[in-house]
Every structure is written in C-alpha cells, then in structure tokens.
Amino acid sequence: MSAAESMEFEASGRKGPWTQEGRTPKIAIIGAGMSGIAAVVKLRKAGYTDLTVFEKADRVGGTWRDNSYPGLSCDVPSYWYSFRFAPNPNWSHRFSYGPEIQAYMEDTAERFGVSKITHFNSAVTSLTYEAPQWRLVTQAGDTSFFDIIITATGILHQPVLPDTPGQSSFEGNAFHSARWDHSVDLTGKRVGVIGTGSTAAQIVGDIAGRVGKLSVFQRTAQWMVPLQQKTYSERWKRFLGWFPFVQTFLYHFYYQAMTRGIGGAVLGDQKSLKRIADLCVRNLFRNVPEGNLRDRLTPTYQAACKRLVLCSSFYPAICRETSELVTEGIDHISPEGVVTKDGRTHKLDVLVYATGFDPTAFILPTRVTGEGGVDLEKFWDGVPRAHRAMSVPGFPNFWMLEGPTGPIGNLSLITISEYQVDYMIDCFNHMKHHRAEAMTPSREAFDTYNQAIREAVPHTIWATGGCNSWYLDKNGLPNLYPWLPSQFRREMKRPIFSEYRLS
C-alpha cells in the first residue's frame, strides 16, 4: 500500500488486520438479548475488550422485551435458564414469568456493563466485508468499521401473520402475540386467539377467566406436557444465596433432566417418546372430560414432532363454559370476526394472532455482503445454513449466535449461547496465534457438516413424526441440530481448526 493509500485508508476509519497490528479486535455485537449479553461478558473476561453492541430497540432483553403477552413465562426451569456467570438465587418460581426474566436481563446487562457499551435504537441495516474489516451501517446512516461481527439477533424475532382473506377488514383490535397492545382491556370482551402453540397456550391459560367469550382457532392439536410450577419461599432463596454451590448443582440437574428427557426422544428413542406421549395423554385425560372436545384436542401425529408445549393452564381454560375450541378451519375474516369454513361467523372484539415467527430470518433483513459481493440472503435462498451453526464460507470474521441448525427445541438457549461464545473465543485466540487477517470455514467443511445434517435429520422425530412445524425448512427438512446436546457441547469445547481457512 502506498503512503497516500495508507493515509486514505486510515482516514476512512479502517484499520489493518488486528492480529498483525497487535491490538485487540474491534468487535460489533448485533443484538442485546440474552446471547448478546453472554457475548459481551465472556469476551471481556477473555481479554476482548473493544466491544460495541448495536440494539434496534431502546432496551436490552430481546425476546423477553418483545414479548409481553399475558401469561408469558419460560417453560425451561429458571435455575437452568440463567447465565452461568450470573446465578440468581432469587427466582420466584421454578418456571419464571416473562417480566421477571426481563428484569434479570436488564439487571445482568447493568451489572456487567453491557448497557454502557450499547447503542440503543440503532438497527443495523447493512454489513459489508471490505477486507480486512466489516463496514457496518445503521438505519440512521452511521457508518463504522469492525474487525469481527457477531450477530446475536435471535431466531424467532420476525412475527408472522397469516395471509387470510379479509384480514384488514376486521373492525375490532387485532395484533400479533409479540406486539401485544396493552391499551386494549380484554375484560368481558369477545376474544379470538388463532393458534395453539407454546405462545397461544400461555395466553389462553391466562386470559380465559376474564374475557367474556374466548374462541380458540386450532388448526392442529398439540401434545401438552403438564408444567409442574412451584413457588420458591424466601427461606429457600436465602439458603441458595448462602450456598451458591447448591444452585450450581440445580443448574446441572435441570440441564441433565431436560436434555436426557427430550434430547433422546427427538432422535427417535422409543422409550423416551412413549414416556412423553403417556405423560401428555394422562394430562389430557385428567383435565378434559371424554367426548368431542377431548377428541379434537388429541393429536394425530407423534409426540415431540412439533416443539412440545409445556403448559398446565390451557386445558382447564379451554374447558370453561365461556371458551370454545374452533376446529372447522378459518375461511376468511370479516369486519365482525372470523368466518370458519362451515359458514359460521365468530363475532369478536379482539383478535390475537399467536401464529408464530419467521424461522429463516436470523440476521436478515440486515443486508450482509461477504467476499466477492456475495449476498447472504441469496446464498441462503430461504434455507439458512451455517458451519456448526455459527459461520458461513465467504463471510470472514462473521459469527452467529443461535444461528441456523443450532440446537433449540425445549433446551435453554442461554446455555447454548454460552457454549458458542466459548467456541468463538477459541477461534479468535487461534487467529491471534497465527497472526491471521481472516478466519472463515472452508467450503468443504461447510458442505461436509451440512451433508451430515441432511443425512441425520430424516431419522429425527421432527421429520418422521407426521407433523408440520416451523422446524421444517422450505424443502421439508428440519432446520435443527440433529444430534444429542452432549455432542454439541463436545463440539463447542474443541474447535477443529482444520475446518477453517486462515488468511
């Protein structure tokens, strides 16, 4: 590079390779949800201190900030759904409610200095690789350069509304579960909920007792595991505060219980599957009297094919006199309410779409351009894939937390993010050791890994269980990690550096 070029380069805010200049890398983390928070805390501890977080909203929290629907809770046990570096002896319940998790996220972000380095209300609109750095542009048009990009944007953050004829003609209040309109009082109203997934189950369980009439539009019956909720006493919380090792034990206890209970089942372990199915059937039989309603609530596919719904309040709620399970199928929406295929109009004041999210979004719609001008959205073409769920060939120094084909299901995403951050740190250390400018998975490693996934997924319950779900991509293949969580943990502990190209 000539002296003039070098000056121009410097003036543009860009730098040479961090490993060769002997400085810590400038790292941008996109998203201040649970994985963004985990990234900041762990990277800083590992000596990577030049960190900037970009957050599209005005607060940290991610999914726990975006979702505020009534009944919002986490069906993963609290002591496991916690950062390892921030154990919380004060969880009030075995399964925490949304506001308490959001408070925990905010408190952790504050305590560990995440909020201080976060640019709020700063949606990132484009990321362009201009070797050896990434150009990052925000919605406000601000441009900056980073050596490493980490996306921590979550999986399910783009709400999906069905494209039902007449949708916009509805004269009542209508909103998606993740965009809850708290100005609407549901008391005594005629409320419709479309969907019966994990979200709808929690909403229905919460609101059934106070609305005037509840119509739940079910397309597919769900397998529902009872949720053994428990309130923790003040004395217990004090005890945990005095003896933190008990909490560590509980973290591992729930980790093992959940991963063994569900991890094996989804891979086709018949004993585990039967145990789960029996549990769900007992739950249904105990709560719903024999007859037409119970029949319509009985799934016709295998348990664990869709994400299991853990909820004890849905069945009692749907059995109330003021509730109705509607299974005739939605024909269209009229100004008065929902018209089903049998020609009946279900008159409504409020319509809630608990219809899920776009599982292919990840970092999109941010425009990501890698080496040679390759566009990530085009590269994925509606089927997002990554090497070990974290990186993509041709996109150097670009890492994803909770990226495509990572383990999800009924596991703690906090734990998964923490493993992934540890893996990334090993990779950054490796770059440093080799004074490398860029690190990217080789095309061969990416293909081999994704071929192994393609060969493994047809044997999972997601593919063989006879259901449709957001786990399936547009080719009908599960977009999930098809091996045991213990294998994922091992993979994350020891990166195989020969899978990467250093330059």
| DSSP-based three-state secondary structure for 104 | helix
* CA distance linking residue 254 with residue 489, whole number of Å: 16
CA distance 208 to 191: 9
Give whichever of 2 and 300 is closer to ligand N01, judged by the CB atom: 300
Q: Residues interacting with ligand N01, by CB under 6 A?
A: 74-76, 156, 162, 177, 194-200, 217, 219-220, 307, 330, 354-357, 468, 470
- Token digits for 357? 């999210």
Closest contact distance (angstroms) between CB of 151 and ligand N01 is 19
**What gap in Å lies between CA 94 and CA 83, rounded to an integer?**
16
Nearer to ligand N01 (CB atom), residue 172 or residue 241: 172
Complex with ligand N01: residue 132 or 356, whichever CB lies closer: 356
- Any alpha helices (H) in 289-328, and if so which ranges? 292-296, 314-318
Strand partners, 325: 216
Is 303 within 8 Å of 273 (Cβ atoms)?
yes
Q: 114 or 203, CB closer to ligand N01?
A: 203
Give the nearer residue to ligand N01 in terms of CB position, either 122 or 222. 222
- Closer CB to ligand N01, residue 25 or residue 71? 71
Side-chain-side CA neighbours of 21 within 13 Å: the count stands at 12
Give the residue with the Cβ less far from ligand N01, 35 or 198: 198
Q: Between 199 and 283, name the residue whose CB sits nearer to ligand N01.
A: 199
| Closest listed residue to residue 401, CA positions, set 112, 73, 30 | 30
Tell the smallest beta-carbon distance from residue 22 to ligand N01 (Å): 43
Residue 156's nearest CA partner among 269, 35, 41 is: 35
CA dist., res. 154 & res. 84, Å (int): 19
- Least Å distance, CB 469 to ligand N01, is 7
Pair 417, 34: CB distance under 8 Å: yes
Q: Which is nearer to ligand N01, 197 or 396 (CB)?
A: 197
Rounded to the nearest whole angstrom, what is the least distance from the CB of residue 414 to ligand N01 in the complex? 11
| DSSP sequence for 28-69 | EEE--SHHHHHHHHHHHHTT---EEEE-SSSSS-THHHH---
Sheet of strand 133-138: strand arrangement: 143-146, 133-138, 124-130, 367-369
Provide the Cα torsion 496, 32, 485, 314; round to 10°. -160
Return the number of the residue (96 or 391) whose C-beta is nearest ligand N01: 96
The minimum distance between CB 417 and ligand N01, in angstroms, equals 14
Please give the backbone phi and psi of residue 440, each rounded to the nearest 5 degrees, phi first.
-150, 145
Q: Residue 503's CB: how many other CB atoms inside 10 A?
A: 12
> Is 217:193 a contact under the CB 8 Å cutoff?
yes
95: left (phi over 0), alpha (psi -120 to 50) or beta: beta
Q: For the CB of residue 217, give the shortest distance to ligand N01 in the complex, in Å.
A: 6
Q: Please, which residue, 72 or 368, has the CB nearer to ligand N01?
A: 72
Nearest distance in Å: CB 216, ligand N01 = 10
CB of 76 to ligand N01, least distance (A): 6
DSSP character at residue 230: -
Q: Between the CA of residue 25 and those of 28, 41, 113, 438, what are the distances in Å?
A: 10, 16, 19, 12
Smallest gap, in angstroms, from Cβ of residue 220 to ligand N01?
A: 3
Tell me the closest approach of the beta carbon of residue 316 to ligand N01, in angstroms: 18
The nearest distance, CB 196 to ligand N01, in angstroms, is: 4
